Amino acid sequence: MDITLTSLETEHSALLKGKIVSQIASQGGWLPFSRYMEMALYEPGMGYYSAGAHKLGVGGDFTTAPELSPLFGAAICSTLLPVLEGLKEKGLPTQILEFGAGTGKLAISILTRLNDLGFDLDRYDIIEISPDLAQRQKKQIDDALKELKLSTQCHWLNSLPIDFKGVIIANEVIDAIPCDTIIYQGGFWYWYGVSFENERLIWKTGLPVEQDLLPESLLSTHFSEGYVTELHAPANAWMHQLAKQLNTGLFLTFDYGFPESEYYHPQRLEGTLMAHHRHHAIQDPFHLPGLCDLTTHIEWSQIARSALAENADDVYLTNQAAYLLDAGIGDIALEIGDPSDPKTFLPISNALQKLLSEAEMGELFKAFAFSKNLDAVLPGYSLEDLPGLRGRNRF
């Protein structure tokens, strides 16, 4: 793969690499992978999400569902609307909080669809850790609010509100929460971290993993020597905190991943960790630190258990295609486009194919949600729950 870097990009990555190497040295020559990933993505002024690089869309490193089509956000509104109407009936503010809003396109498509449906949202707030993305979001959303002539208040927050009542959404957020890597050697699990030798960042085995930190699937199944996978304590802690602070409402997220039995399958020998740069998938997570996005797939079973531990009423999981179809994305496409006009409908059809196809985003991407103190039946939630976890088969 030939990627030509500017001198500024080369210098930027080298500076962050030097800081990582200093951190490794200060820790005795070995660094937990979660700390490396945290620095590579979020080191102030240097990490991938904090250094001002262009990340999304054709000129960026990856494309998300909201970037593909406003149909994605419009379909989500089929789920959000009954929740928001229920809040309004209880005399509560109608508000949506989005984590990691990208370029703001999901927010705009949701605001537009709710407006088309005659619903006036009180607030749409965003928590965004990337300064350049926050700046782009503000311009795009302010322009959209003016064009739609909406009185909806939009604010950028630094932290999750306490005792929140409303809807919380997150599209491709959990996959960027730092994880730890572990390796199976000699019949035991060991931490698999980062070291520095011969001017290169390398993998290095650390201490044994404490048994109580291992999922049941990793204790009850035989794995091949050198099998590598991930543990997601920070993501699970994030879900605990979010579920704790959601008093009444719904959490909805979309991301790629598997339930525990699939995630820790014996044939998944190298885990799910991946780097991305300019729409290229890169196996080496140490490639160009600060310039590459680092992600892992989500292990949904523990995410769900984390929500249930904080008194979520129900948890739901299905693939993205099933969710969007049940939420009415096909009907919405016919509302906004005429199939007899190829010029206008072909882009709509192409976007639907990418969102729904098993070979694209339809199967690998999952729609996960949990509710608290809700009475509404939610469109989009009608299939199977996570195995072994409670729910009312609305998803």
The answer, as to whether pTM is greater than 0.85, is yes
Residues of the chain above pLDDT 70, percent: 91
Rounded CA-CA distance 250/395 in Å is 13
Q: How confident is the model at residue 179 (pLDDT cuts 50, 70, 90)?
A: very high
Please determine, for residue 274, whether its predicted confidence score (pLDDT) is greater than 80.
yes
The radius of gyration of the chain from alpha carbons, rounded to an integer in Å, stands at 21
Computed from CA positions of residues 327, 105, 242, 96, in that sequence, does the dihedral angle turn out positive or negative? negative
pLDDT, one tens digit per residue, over 347-375 is: 889 999 999 999 999 899 999 999 998 86
Pairing of strands 314-319, 365-372: antiparallel
Q: How confident is the model at residue 52 (pLDDT cuts 50, 70, 90)?
A: low
Distances from the Cα of 311 to the Cα of 95, 354, 392, angstroms: 21, 35, 15
Rounded CA-CA distance 118/332 in Å is 15
Picking from 300, 296, 306, the residue whose alpha carbon sits closest to that of residue 237 is: 306
pLDDT at position 3 is 65
The average pLDDT across 3-8 equals 82
Instruction: For each of the domains in the chain, give its residue range(s) and CATH number, in order of start.
Output: 59-269+297-395 (3.40.50.12710)
